[in-house]
Amino acid sequence: MWFTDPRIDKLVRYENHDRTRSGDFGFLYKGLPISVQVKSLQTNSVRKTETGYTGTFQCDASDRRAVRLPNGQVVETTCLVVGGFDLLAVNLFEFGQKWRFAFAKNSDLPRTRSSKYTFEQGQYLLATSIRITWPLQPPFYEEPFAVLDEIVGER
C-alpha cells in the first residue's frame, strides 16, 4: 500500500530467514538504503475501547540466536537488536477490519525489561511484545514518510 509511492526506489523483498539482511524488505529513500521489519497484531490481544482499539504485537525473531550488541557483547536471544533495521511497519487490520498500518523508527521502540539481560544489554534489545493503540500514539504514525524523513535526516 505505502511502498509503491514514487519516492520509494528499488523495493526488494528479502528471503525469509536470511540472516545476512536485517528486516523483511528494503528500498532506497532519497538515495539511502532503508530496511523494514513487518509485524502484525496478535489477534487474540485486540480489544475495543471507548475511543478505538488496543492490542499487542510480537516484535521478535522467529528463533533464538546469538547476536552481537553495539557494545561488543554477544547474547543468545529472540529479541531484535536496536538499530538492526530502520523502519517498523505494523499491520493493524484487526483494528476494525480495515487495512491500515503503523510506522515507527527502530530507535524509538521500547526496550526489553527482561531480567535475563543486564541493564546495559537491555538498552540494545527491543521488547518482544509491544502494546499499540488506535488512534495511534507516539512512537507510532499512520504514514511512513515523516518517519523516513527523520531516519534520513539522522544519517
Give residue 147's domain range: 8-154
As a whole-number percent, the residues of the chain with pLDDT over 90 amount to 87
pTM: 0.92
Return the pLDDT at 23: 81
For residue 16, pLDDT over 80 is answered with no
For residue 143, pLDDT over 90 is answered with yes
Per the domain annotation, does 1 fall within a domain? Answer: no
Q: What total number of domains does the chain contain? A: 1
For residue 3, pLDDT over 70 is answered with yes
Return the pLDDT at 15: 76
Per the domain annotation, does 66 fall within a domain? Answer: yes
pLDDT, average across residues 104-128: 96
Per the domain annotation, does 2 fall within a domain? Answer: no
Return the pLDDT at 1: 80
* pLDDT tens-digit series, residues 32-49: 999 999 999 999 999 999
Per the domain annotation, does 102 fall within a domain? Answer: yes
pLDDT, average across residues 135-141: 98
Cα(37)–Cα(43) distance, integer angstroms: 19
For residue 21, pLDDT over 80 is answered with no
Per the domain annotation, does 12 fall within a domain? Answer: yes
Per the domain annotation, does 108 fall within a domain? Answer: yes
Per the domain annotation, does 3 fall within a domain? Answer: no
Return the pLDDT at 18: 59
For residue 17, pLDDT over 70 is answered with no
DSSP result, the chain:
--TTSTTEEEEEEPPTT-TTS-SSEEEEETTEEEEEEEEEB-GGG-EE-SSSEEEEEE-EEEEEEEEE-TTS-EEEEEEPBTTSSSEEEEE-TTTTT---EEEEEGGGSPBP--TTS-HHHHTTBB-SEEEEEES--TT-BSSSHHHHHHHHHH-
Per the domain annotation, does 41 fall within a domain? Answer: yes
Q: What is the amino acid identity at position 73?
A: Q
